Amino acid sequence: MSQYRAAVIGLGWMGMLYDLASRIPDRFEVDDIKRPTPTLDIHRKFYHHEHPGDSGLPTSYAEACWDRPEVRLVAGADRDENRLRVFSERYGVQQLYTDAVEMLSQEQPDIVAICTNTKHRSDLTCLAVEYGAKGILTEKPMAHTLAEADRMVQSCAAANVPLCCGSITTTHPSFAQARKLVQDGRIGEIVSIEAGGPFAQHQNWSYFLDSPPLWVVGTGDTPRRESGSSEFTGTGMLVTADGLTVHFRHGAPGIRLSGSSGEMVFNYQSGWELWQDMETPDGQQRVKIPWPKPQFASPYGAVYCLADVLDCLAGELDQPKNSGRRVALALEVEIALKQSSAQKGARINLPLADRSLGLHYDWFR
């Protein structure tokens, strides 16, 4: 079994805190050194019997790295020394840094989880590659601008480093099952995909594209909200180079894959449903078929991101399900939809020439 040395940068909610406490709403600035931290249970254990059907799967990247036998958690970095102390007490790690760059240069970990705020994510990803990282996990959103996302994808691709950008539902093994069913022709030829929005932070739809986006049209976007977010809020349509249409509309499920002879639908609450056209005593009808395991079950967490990266390193997966390439693609589509809406629904061709374009996110991102 290969042994990988892992480090976590940013010991906030996804870095560590979610597995030690409940979320608190206190506001902070992303550059604050000391941020609100609740009372933490550093000895917390996960007991499946206490949460039947909702077994308390570890959420954070620190816990995910600590839990895998082929991974040794060796270092952590955060500007808040209190969080470093908690990290050390929880995981028995002694290599603690208030400077992430120093940690990367000194420790040169094999696997790096980057759980900082968004504005530093691109630089730290590229530095991790420079210092020899073999696999990288980041929290979402991936980056603010297309240029930042390009740097991340290109740097990792050049060094053959798998990059997973965010613990979202797409990382769950049931999505790999869904893609396999599509490839096996269980619902015929895919004729359209539907989702509630492009959501570059949580884009289930890009996992099912086999051809690059060609153009988009969008409408109904709103100005930047008080929360800080300028993410696309309207509806729209994407057409890929091979002619597939992806519809983004309010009220749609997490994803709907419509085929020539069936359909698959994913909702967070109910998981996956599979429908196939079959001959019945009343003629051909679309019939609901039991979903082949694994079925989606919440909660989901960083354990699946890490599993994908390790599978890539073992040669069992070509890229993480929520790879940097797929997230960067979704970011570009979302920005293009905003441009289209601002131009009264004009067609916007892809790729976008201006790579300085980007999105703002909620204040805590």
Flag the least confident range among 26-40, 50-64, 99-113, 313-327. 50-64
Pair 217, 341: CB distance under 8 Å? no
Confidence at residue 51, expressed as pLDDT on a 0 to 100 scale: 47
Domain co-membership, 264 together with 316: no
Give the pLDDT of residue 69.
92
In one letter, which amino acid is 12?
Answer: G
**Average pLDDT value for the chain:** 93
The answer to the question of residue 362 being in a domain is no
364 domain-assigned: no
Contact residues for 337 (Cβ-Cβ < 8 A; gap 6+):
198, 216, 217, 218, 221, 232, 234, 236, 248, 348
| Region 167-196 average pLDDT | 96
- Please give the average per-residue pLDDT across 241-263, as a whole number: 97
Parallel/antiparallel/unpaired status of strands 135-138 and 235-240: unpaired
The pair of structure tokens assigned to 125 is 């990803």
The count of C-alpha atoms lying within 13 angstroms of the C-alpha of 91, restricted to the half-sphere facing its C-beta, is 34
Q: Are residues 36 and 8 in the same domain?
A: yes
Cβ contact 263:275 at 8 Å:
yes
* pLDDT of amino acid 53: 47
What is the three-class DSSP state of 96?
Answer: strand
Q: Cα–Cα distance between 335 and 145 in angstroms, integer?
A: 9
Residues 143 and 69 in one domain: yes
Give the chain's domain count.
2
259 and 311 share one domain:
no
Residue 45: predicted pLDDT: 74
Question: What integer is the mean pLDDT of 69-84?
Answer: 96
- Domain housing 125: 4-169+300-323
The Cα–Cα gap between 218 and 205 comes to 17
Residue 56's pLDDT band (cuts 50, 70, 90): low
DSSP one-letter code for 117: -
Both 163 and 190 in one domain: the answer is no
| Pairing status of strand 255-259 against strand 190-195 | antiparallel
Q: Does one domain contain both 190 and 146?
A: no
Res 316: pLDDT: 97
Determine, yes or no, domain membership for 143.
yes
For residue 82, give Cα distances in angstroms to 39, 107, 130, 290: 12, 21, 29, 49
CATH number where 54 lies: 3.40.50.720
Q: Looking at the structure, do residues 279 and 319 belong to the same domain, yes or no? A: no
**Residue range 188-206, pLDDT digits in tens:** 999 999 999 999 999 999 9
Query: Is a pLDDT exceeding 50 seen at residue 340?
Result: yes
Q: Are 313 and 162 in contact (CB under 8 A)?
A: yes
Tell me: do 37 and 74 sit in the same domain. yes
| Domain shared by 127 and 35, yes or no | yes
Q: Are residues 244 and 113 in the same domain?
A: no
Q: DSSP labels for 143-200?
A: -SBHHHHHHHHHHHHHTT--EEE---GGGSHHHHHHHHHHHTTTT-SEEEEEES---T
Are 201 and 344 found together in one domain?
yes
Contacts of residue 149, Cβ cutoff 8 Å, sequence gap at least 6: 122, 142, 143, 324, 327, 328, 331, 332
Confidence grade of residue 22 (pLDDT, cut at 50, 70, 90): confident
Residue 28 region by backbone torsions, left for phi larger than 0, else alpha for psi between -120 and 50, else beta: beta
CB of 93 within 8 A of CB of 341? no
Task: Say if residue 359's pLDDT is above 60.
Answer: yes
